[in-house]
Structures are given as C-alpha cells and as structure tokens.
Amino acid sequence: MSLRLIFNSDDYGRTPDISRGIRECHLRGLVTSTTAMMNMPSAAADLRLALAQTPNLGLGVHLVLTAGRPLLPPAQVASLVDPGGEFLKLGTLIARAESLQAAEAKAEWRAQIEAFMAATGQRPTHLDSHHHSSYITPGLLQSMLELAREYQLALRLPVSGRGQTTLNGIPGHLEAALRQASPRLLAQFQPRHPDAFFDTFYDEGATRAELGRILASLPAEGVFEIMCHPGYVDEAFARESSYAWQRQQELEILTDPQVRAEMDRRGVQLVSFARL
C-alpha cells in the first residue's frame, strides 16, 4: 500500500477555457480526475477533447442543481427552477431546502449521467456535485447514492477532512441533518469512495502552504481526494462568476514543478477514482 491522492477538478465543461485549463493541469500537473457539468453548452465537445487529448484523465459527472438550465423540461423539475426555467441560485436552493423534491433532482441527475454516457460512450468514474448541492438534504444525498448504485459509480464523501467535519458551503442549520443521515446512508448503500475528502484548497486556501498542510496531515497509506478548480478565465466569465481569477492561481500552483517534486519526495501516487 502507499499514499494515493486524487486531485479532482470540479467544473469541467463550465467553459471551453476552464476545460482547457483542467486538461493542461492533468498533462503537466497534479490533476488526475475531473467532473463535468453536463448542462453546460460546451460540456459534450469538451469531453470529446478530453478523450482525445487526455485519455488517462478520470472523467466523472458534476451533478448540477445551481447553475444554468436543467436538461429536463422545467415543468418536470418545478421545485428546482425559477419562473424562467433556470436552476435556482445556491442561496435560494438552500432557503428552499425543505420544499425541494428529491425525485425531481434524481430524474434530472439521471439525465445528466445519461448525457455524459452519450457524449463519451462510457460510464463516468464517479459522482460529485456543483456547490455540494447533492448533500444539503438527506433526500438529495439518498438520490445521489441510489444513482451511484444504479450506475455502479464511486462518489465524493459528504463530509470534509479526516475528522469527519462538514462541507464548505453547507450552512449550519443543515449540518445536523447531514451529520445524522450520512453515516446511515453510506452504510446502507456502501458506495466506493476515498478514505477522506479535502475541500480546503479553495479561494484564499488555494495555496502551496495549504497543500503542504493537507499532505502533512495524511498517514503513510490510504487514498484521499483533494478538490480543486483550475482553469483559464476571461473578463466575461469574471463578470458572471465570483470564482474566476482564482482558477488561474490554482492552475499555477497545480502545475508548479516544485509542488510535483514534493509529491514525489513524499512517495505520493497520483490516481483517479477509477483506481478505487
């Protein structure tokens, strides 16, 4: 056994430039895995580029409820969309957590998984979700787990850190339900997953020092996931997203030869979810 790390980049397909940056981080950096936003216009074309240019990059599905439009007709996912048929923004989704229909989310997520399979001709390696939206209620988590079982997929853990804390972005009033439900649901469905998940390499925490802190906290053996969001951005994307230029900072760190050298010095094996 050895220490194995999955560097999973969220948001593949968000824009062609973000996807290009993720592929670059795989070819000359640490990224081993990515998850695609299948309701984005460029997702299918970007996945075809990944298959051609980065055949060893793990490809999963980034289940979406908080960006863009659903793949299903809005009337079929009425609790998840605004009057214009767009997915609810994260704050609104959280505020309406009790009224969200898990069956609608499951149907939409199945459509996203099927869209991935149509674009690639293969099953995804695993599931996670944009803004961790699949973890904000027990019903949504169960829907994700049901799909993981149906398609025989691994998934991202619903808690962050080796101490089983919580996820960044999950508000306090929803934490208790997640803490109570997640161990029971994971025991019931027994999905494949890493030993722990780290979401702290993000925004102000996206630093070389934070990667070093995570590494120092890990045992000599096991498999662990580190979330990241590298990519190239432009002014248009920066105007619409609060997480824009930070992506290029992540890209610089994740392709830094000295960072990779430190991984090698520690004997870290870089793997994807396909190795679980």
State yes or no: pLDDT of 165 exceeds 70.
no
pLDDT of 271: 97
pTM of the entire predicted model = 0.95
Alpha carbons within 13 angstroms on the beta-carbon side of residue 207 total 5
Q: What share of the chain in percent tops pLDDT 90?
A: 86
Looking at the chain, list the stretches that DSSP marks H as alpha helix, in order from N- to C-terminal side.
16-27, 43-53, 90-95, 102-120, 138-151, 172-189, 208-217, 235-240, 245-254, 257-265
* Domain residue ranges of the chain, discontinuous segments joined by +: 3-275
State yes or no: pLDDT of 169 exceeds 90.
no
Separation CA 225–CA 5 (nearest Å): 6
Q: Rounded mean pLDDT of 98-127? A: 98
Q: Rounded mean pLDDT of 88-110? A: 96
The pLDDT tens digits of the residues spanning 39-62 come to: 999 999 999 999 999 999 999 999
pLDDT of 1: 66
Residue of higher predicted confidence among 242 and 87: 87
Q: Considering just the CA atoms, what is the radius of gyration of the chain in Å?
A: 18
pLDDT of 138: 94
Q: What share of the chain in percent tops pLDDT 70?
A: 98
3-state secondary structure of 152: coil
Q: What count of residues does the chain have? A: 276
pLDDT of 199: 93
Q: Rounded mean pLDDT of 3-29? A: 97
Q: What confidence tier does 274 reach under pLDDT thresholds 50, 70, 90?
A: very high
pLDDT of 240: 87
The pLDDT tens digits of the residues spanning 137-164 come to: 999 999 999 999 999 999 999 888 766 6
What DSSP letter does each residue of 47-112 carry, written as one string? Answer: HHHHHHH-TTSEEEEEE-SSSS--SS-GGGGGGGB-TTSPBPPHHHHHHTGGG--HHHHHHHHHHH
Dig out the tokens for 148 from the structure. 């993981």
Fill in the amino acid letter for 97: A
pLDDT of 178: 85
Q: Which residue has the tokens 């096991």?
A: 222
Q: Rounded mean pLDDT of 248-256? A: 96
Q: Could you tell me if 100 and 137 are in contact, meaning their C-beta atoms sit under 8 angstroms apart? A: yes
State yes or no: pLDDT of 260 exceeds 70.
yes
Q: How far is CA 108 from CA 77, 113, 137, 146, in A?
A: 7, 9, 16, 13
**CATH architecture observed for domain 3-275:** Alpha-Beta Barrel (3.20)
Rounded to the nearest integer, the mean pLDDT of the chain is 94
